[in-house]
Structure 1
Amino acid sequence: MKIPARYSHVLFGGMLSVIMVTIISGTVVLINQGYDQEFFRRWLRGFITAWPVAFPSVLVVAPFVRRVVSRITE
């Protein structure tokens, strides 16, 4: 089953934001609080807090970034 192309921007934003938030929240938790038995619980909490902000941000910012990149590249 394929998703219709008209939803590609939402799928792109969702996938990009999940990957970004996973990497960044894990990095921030590791640097600030270290690695111990509570690491994954804190990482998940950070992810759940950050993703609702990241997903709509990507949806809003991505079209602007695409336009800027297309203007400055050949």
Structure 2
Amino acid sequence: MSPRIPPRYANLAFAFLMSLLMAAIMSGIITAVNRGVDAGYLMAWARSFAVAWPIAFPLVLVLAPRVRTLVTHLTT
């Protein structure tokens, strides 16, 4: 059986995973657009991700509940 995260940590787990994925994808795309995909691409991507993710994580923690509320108001 796989280890489970207690439900009280669901918002934290969501923010962690969402920010991780979004920062990785967006930093990868923006790095490719700005400098191309060459021999130094992975190192440049890693540096960009290292800057982006610590910013994205607290932003998702703060903004996700507000966005959920906004979506609820827009859809009901």
Superposition TM-score, scaled by structure 2 size: 0.94
Deviations 1:24-63 (A, max 9, x none): 0001110000111100000000000110000000000000
Q: How many residues align?
A: 74
1:45 to 22, 44, 47: 47
Per the alignment, residue 36 of structure 1 pairs with 38
Alignment of 1:50-65 (within 5 A): 50-65=52-67
User: Secondary structure of 1:47's partner?
Assistant: helix
User: Secondary structure of 2:30's partner?
Assistant: helix
2:6 to 4, 7, 19: 4
Gaps of 5+ in 1: none
Q: Would you identify which runs of 4 or more consecutive aligned residues in structure 1 move more than 6 Å?
A: none
In 2, Cα distance between equivalents of 1:31 and 1:58: 25
1:16 to 15, 18, 28: 18
* Cα RMSD for the two superposed structures: 0.6
Q: Percent identity?
A: 42
